[in-house]
Amino acid sequence: MAKRCSSLATICVAMSCAALLCCLARGEAQVQQQKASVRIFNTAKQKLREGKTIVGATVFSPDPNIYCAMANAGYDFLWIEMQHSPLTYGDVAKMIWACRGASAMPFIRVPDATEGDIQKATDIGAVGIIVPTVDTVEKAQAAVKWSKYPPEGRRSQGNGQYGALWGSDYRQIANDNMVVVIMIETPIGVENAEKIASVPGIDVIFAASTDLGNFSGHRQGEKDYEALVTRIHDVTLEHGIRLGGPQAWKGRPGFTFFQGPGETELIRAGARANLSANPEAKPTAAPVEGEKPR
């Protein structure tokens, strides 16, 4: 009798385990189905998910007209520079609002991975947060924590123009649309690259070309400099994270996220192209005032 009860208990445990596994599998399938149905409005993030290359021009000027010209020029995103510029969050809020509906997504390089900086950036509508000089795992964690709502992060819900920009369902889909970019710029950051890349929620790790030289004392092309870049490259791709760098590195293997030039360089390049254009290709009539350029 005891042996029979023991056999029955074994069968019951086995059935319970099977039922539990079935339940877990069903739950995982439902989660995946829910994720698949989430509305992705951030076209730059969608392209990153698909493994495509994306490029963003850099914005220093507070002029909304310049911002809109760049935002509708064909870039995937705009790198709005708030670390090395006098731009205020008020300036940037007006720029983003003035060009709502533009094809380029607004990304902001914040001064630091603080709650105040990232909260303001996301509230005014940024859908990409770029954090400079990440040397430690704690700073990488802070970047994700303040960029995303619970349960993935600690972003608080308050007032902002994000809803008017991205839709009334913004709170439910914000985390899936946010892009978190971590910049490794120092030998210390390179040394901690494995730990940094292990932080959940990072979309891109950016190898900062200028400051890798600035902080290491080595120049691009030198063996020690290239070893730093190779380390970032290998660790980033091993963790399934997208790799970023300056647009000049577009030919380097593995890089899919690029920072393009600022408006000054773009105006200079545009002027050169205009002046060197084939005279036969120039329009025969001057544009009419008020008409959009062709």
Sign, CA dihedral 266-44-203-162, equals positive
Residues noted as catalytic: 84
pLDDT in tens, 45-64: 999 999 999 999 999 999 99
pLDDT in tens, 155-205: 999 889 999 999 999 999 999 999 999 999 999 999 999 999 999 999 999
Closest CA to 195 of 207, 213, 182: 182
Write the class of the CATH domain 41-275: alpha beta
At residue 230, the 3 state secondary structure works out as: helix
Supply 46's token pair: 């969608």
pTM, two decimal places: 0.84
- Is the pLDDT at 25 greater than 90, yes or no? no
Residue type, 138: E
